[in-house]
Amino acid sequence: MFEPSGVLVDDMITISCNITDVEDDVSNLSVNISIRNPYGEWNTTQASRLGNTFYRDWVAKDPEGIYLARCEACDLDNGCSQRNGTFGVYRWINVTISLNSTEVWWNESVLISGTAIRSDLSKVDTSEDPDSDVRVYINNILSAITETNAEGFYNVTIYAPLSIGTYIINVSVKDPIMMRYFSNTTILEVKPTYGGTKREKESARNVGCYEQPMIIQNPDGSIQTVVARICTWK
């Protein structure tokens, strides 16, 4: 009956019904399509027709929520039948992500924070609804669940994976009004990092480094002295 099942505020949705198995010619039918908003207010209009399909184009407006649509067809004898369905009207939610560091060591803590704000600048508060939340994924694996507050702000601490690599951090916020997820992603690099001086390099985290003079033979047969830096992870 609907295409699609949900629509953003200010976008258009087509509500249609296909009428068959009627005694009268469909051109003799009176077909109305009505829409009821979450406040219980009805809006009714005569449907347009294309063959056996009757339809209505409708531009979504506030309020957000679940709408009821009704297609009612009446014949020349005032015999009527109807069909109901529902669709959702919602606003886009912008989810922001901030990491306290985008390059960390394995198993190092990472503070993730951000906001969830609707297109009308209203804040998304998931803390008052047990069915809505904020979910943090690392490479599509759930890592943490938290909430936004009345200001639309969230923060949570996770721990970096134990393997070196580049990871995709996804934050998904479930809208408490429409129960739809809106998300955003960022990149986290897990790798060893060092300071700029030799002393910093040698003392960085639990890495021990030392330099060892070595004599090597080049492919042309010549002999050369080099200094090799050897680092070990404790």
Kindly list the strands in the beta sheet with 65-74, ordered across the sheet, starting from the edge strand earlier in the chain.
6-8, 80-90, 65-74, 30-36, 42-46
pLDDT at 226 over 90: no
The confidence score (pLDDT) of residue 198 equals 47
CATH 2.60.40.1930: which residues of the chain? 93-190
pTM: 0.72
CATH 2.60.40.10: which residues of the chain? 2-90
Percent of the chain whose pLDDT exceeds 70:
85
Say which CATH superfamily domain 93-190 falls into: Macroglobulin (MG2) domain (2.60.40.1930)
Give the whole-angstrom CA distance, residue 159 versus residue 128.
Answer: 27
Give the whole-angstrom CA distance, residue 234 versus residue 231.
Answer: 10
pLDDT in tens, 19-59: 875 555 777 788 999 999 999 999 999 999 998 899 999 99
pLDDT in tens, 155-202: 999 999 999 999 999 999 999 999 999 999 999 999 876 555 545 545
Q: Are 183 and 172 in contact (CB under 8 A)?
A: yes
Give the whole-angstrom CA distance, residue 12 versus residue 55.
Answer: 13
CATH of 2-90 given 1.10.3470.10, 2.40.160.20, 2.60.40.10, 2.40.50.140: 2.60.40.10
Q: Are 32 and 42 in contact (CB under 8 A)?
A: no
Structure tokens at 22: 């009627």
